[in-house]
Structure 1
Amino acid sequence: MQIAVIGHTGMGGKALTDLFITRGHQVTGISRSAKPDADRKGLTNVAADVFDTDRMTEVLGGHDAVVSMYSGGHEVDLEVYYRQAEGTRRLIKAFRQAQGRYLLYVGGAASLYVKPDVQMFDDERFPSWYFGIMPAEHLHWLAEITGIGFFHDAAKRKENGTIAPGHTDLELEEFVSGWGRVPLLEGCRMALDLFEGRTDFAWSFLSPPWLYRPGPGTGHYRTGVDYMIFDEGIPSGIALPDLALAVADEVERQEFSHRHWTVAGPLDAKG
């Protein structure tokens, strides 16, 4: 297959691109920082910005599938919300103008339902409890991508046994309790609204689980539709390689067309 991956230089995009190439697909990697001199067997690098609709229309044409790993950023800044929501709108426009065949969009966990009519972001336990129950490895990663050192401190409390596994950290809950705005999560939730109910093009919207993070893969995953997957009352997680595996499988099989779905690691996997 000829597959375009938007955001192929990021963490998730790179893992997915490598997997596609391993499976024998030809990948067009699209990002603002793409460098043509980094081309290799199976990969053609193309520099383009999702906000440049004409350029994106040009580069998306002729592919069997397009995967968006686009992210507006991890800063707690309303500009991130704008970049995610408006960037998605322009991406959809470019895809349609290019007469794209299948668009798989990777969004965020905020749009997953925890009970009927209640998305995670509207859960009364958000944000405090959702951050409080994060395992140490996820907290360390969160500290790295946000630059907030407090998350490293919280991770150490879980690693040294101050907070028992699976229990919430009340100090961490207090730290995030005032986070009434999480721009990336809200932007991804708005992005889903731009897809749902549409049948004028083929799309699939994947919301990774709340505890998606780097780490070794298992080669297995579970899927669900619309609702967050919980394990013993705790939001599920998945390691980066297993998420990439789920995305690659969906691109090849296209079983979740016009659906909002999610994934989780196997039950015996940590997190």
Structure 2
Amino acid sequence: MAKKNMKVAVIGHSGMGGQAVVEQLLQRGHAVTGISIDADKVPAQSGLSNVQLDILHTSELTNVLQGHDVVVSVFSGGHAVDLSVYYLQIEGTRSMIKAVRDAEVPYFIYVGGAASLYVKPGLQMFDDPRFPTWYFGVQPPAHLRWLGEITGETFFFEAADRKENGSIAPGASDPFLEECIKDWRKVPLLEGCRIALELFEDKSSFQWSFLSPPWMYRPGPGTGQYELGVDFMIFKNGIPSGIDLPDLALAIVDETENQRLIHKHWTVSGEQNNYGV
């Protein structure tokens, strides 16, 4: 039975994913504590308490988490190709785990990245020989443009234009894009999230679940539906699946209430397969 009227802490609530999760939680009547280093920029809402905090300050985070029923982390170390992102993701995760355990919070849902998902037994996405060129190459124009926005890399916009004007045929490789991303085997956020999973795996001393969004997760209208998977990347028509932001938030809040994936590494996919065209 779904739990109602809970007190939920959302770490990283000032970001895109965090805002969507907070909105869903408030709509369902939960009391939310939003925790971010820039919480002062988040508008006040009924049912939401904004806490400005650097999550690397573990003892302070522990104090804030006291008395919560669930903690949801949508924290991101950043999208820049910079080692500081890797450091923040790993150290931030370590700090959050310790704070959750010390505060004796009953359940911790951590949102990581797609890199830890398996594409076949024993092979994670980040180790797939097709990464990075094929994985970026199959992305549709809308997703490429969104990547351009969050990374600041203009070549994503150019690649989106070539797909839309027919310069690159559907399913064909884009030599220019491949050249631009050929060295992207070092992606600090993806690598940091993959290592983060290892900080959870095989630990049964506290209740957690680790959500890896699909490769093509981006803003969009949502459908109100999603498909669940465990450990393995979900493919649609031979390409990595995707999901719109509202549907990812829906899955997170459903798990917050239902708590059916404890000690699982899980993923989700949008019901509509419109991500590869």
TM-score bucket of the superposed structures, by smaller chain: over 0.9
Aligned amino acid, residue 52 of structure 2: A
> Hey, what's the Cα distance between the residues in 2 that align with 1:267 and 1:10?
25
- Which residue in 1 is equivalent to 2:231? 226
Aligned amino acid, residue 20 of structure 1: L
Do the aligned partners of 1:211 and 1:235 also contact (CA within 8 Å) in 2? Answer: yes
Deviations 1:154-202 (A, max 9, x none): 0111111222344442321221111221000000000000000000100
* Post-superposition offset of 1:87: 0.9
> Hey, what's the Cα distance between the residues in 1 that align with 2:206 and 2:258?
17
Query: Normalising by the residue count of structure 2, what TM-score does the alignment of the two structures yield?
Result: 0.95
Unaligned runs of 5+ residues in structure 2 are: 1-5
Name the SS for the 1:194 alignment partner.
helix
- Which residue in 2 is equivalent to 1:53? 58
> Hey, what's the Cα distance between the residues in 2 that align with 1:208 and 1:15?
14
Deviations 1:70-109 (A, max 9, x none): 0000000011111101110111011111111100000000
Query: Is 1:64 equivalent to 2:69 in the alignment?
Result: yes
- Which residue in 1 is equivalent to 2:263? 258
**CA RMSD across the alignment:** 1.3
Query: Is 1:15 equivalent to 2:16 in the alignment?
Result: no
- Which residue in 1 is equivalent to 2:115? 110
Question: Aligned in 2, Cα 1:190/1:175: closer, same or farther, shift over 3 Å?
Answer: same
Aligned amino acid, residue 203 of structure 1: W
> Hey, what's the Cα distance between the residues in 1 that align with 2:42 and 2:245?
27
Select the residue among 186, 201, 206 that pairs with 2:206: 201
Q: Which moved more, 1:106-115 or 1:38-47?
A: 38-47
1:128-167 → structure 2 map (5 Å cutoff): 128-167=133-172
Q: Which moved more, 1:79-88 or 1:170-179?
A: 170-179
Do the aligned partners of 1:231 and 1:267 also contact (CA within 8 Å) in 2? Answer: no
Do the aligned partners of 2:241 and 2:273 also contact (CA within 8 Å) in 1? Answer: no
Do the aligned partners of 2:110 and 2:209 also contact (CA within 8 Å) in 1? Answer: yes
Name the SS for the 1:223 alignment partner.
strand
* Post-superposition offset of 1:268: 4.3
Query: Is 1:94 equivalent to 2:105 in the alignment?
Result: no
Query: Normalising by the residue count of structure 1, what TM-score does the alignment of the two structures yield?
Result: 0.97
Aligned amino acid, residue 236 of structure 1: S
- Which residue in 2 is equivalent to 1:126? 131
* Post-superposition offset of 1:267: 4.0
> Hey, what's the Cα distance between the residues in 2 that align with 1:267 and 1:170?
29
Aligned amino acid, residue 112 of structure 1: L
> Hey, what's the Cα distance between the residues in 1 that align with 2:42 and 2:137?
44
> Hey, what's the Cα distance between the residues in 1 that align with 2:42 and 2:273?
42
Size of the alignment, in residue pairs?
A: 271
Aligned amino acid, residue 63 of structure 1: H
Name the SS for the 1:256 alignment partner.
coil
Aligned amino acid, residue 111 of structure 2: V
> Hey, what's the Cα distance between the residues in 2 that align with 1:249 and 1:160?
40
> Hey, what's the Cα distance between the residues in 1 that align with 2:47 and 2:168?
46
Question: Aligned in 2, Cα 1:140/1:60: closer, same or farther, shift over 3 Å?
Answer: same
Identity of aligned residues (%): 62
Select the residue among 44, 48, 51 that pairs with 1:39: 44
* Post-superposition offset of 1:37: 8.6
Do the aligned partners of 2:89 and 2:192 also contact (CA within 8 Å) in 1? Answer: yes
Deviations 1:193-239 (A, max 9, x none): 00000001000000000000011100010010000000111000000
> Hey, what's the Cα distance between the residues in 2 that align with 1:260 and 1:56?
24
- Which residue in 1 is equivalent to 2:185? 180
Do the aligned partners of 1:132 and 1:170 also contact (CA within 8 Å) in 2? Answer: no
* Post-superposition offset of 1:36: 9.1
Do the aligned partners of 2:34 and 2:49 also contact (CA within 8 Å) in 1? Answer: yes
Do the aligned partners of 2:227 and 2:271 also contact (CA within 8 Å) in 1? Answer: yes
Deviations 1:19-43 (A, max 9, x none): 1101111110000111299432111
